[in-house]
Amino acid sequence: MQEAAARSLRRGLERLRPLAKNKTLRYGVPMMMDPALEERIRKNKISLESEYEKLKNSDFDDWKNIRGPRPWEDSKSLQEQQQQVLHSKSS
């Protein structure tokens, strides 16, 4: 008896999908968003052009390519070793 109830519940949950915006509007239920979040999104509008301007003004002459530790390496000792190499190059 419990197995049958569990199976029917599973079947019902498999059919559930998140509502798409066009379907909610079709049935007259608008998608709701918190007004504070909506205002924050409007203020922080990020565009490709604005990100390009940030990168264009960046200075990459002092770029240091430091790789992260591999899973089998000790991260502390690797970081210390990289710092020593950087200090010896700058001296």
Region 16-37: mean pLDDT is: 68
- Distance (Å, whole) CA 85 – CA 91: 10
Number of domains in the chain: 1
Q: Would you say residue 91 lies in a domain?
A: no
What's the half-sphere exposure (Cβ side, CA atoms, 13 Å) at 33?
A: 9
Let me know if residue 41 belongs to a domain: yes
- Collapsing DSSP to helix, strand or coil, 14 comes out as helix
Residue 83 token pair:
């710092």
- Specify if 32 maps to a domain: yes
Q: Is residue 23 part of a domain?
A: yes
Sign of CA dihedral 44, 48, 49, 50: positive
Give the residue numbers spanning the domain of 34.
9-55
Q: What is the pLDDT of residues 56-72, one digit of tens each?
A: 888 778 777 777 778 88
Q: Note the pLDDT of residue 39.
A: 84
* Cβ(30)–Cβ(24) below 8 Å: yes
Looking at the domain assignment, is residue 28 inside a domain?
yes
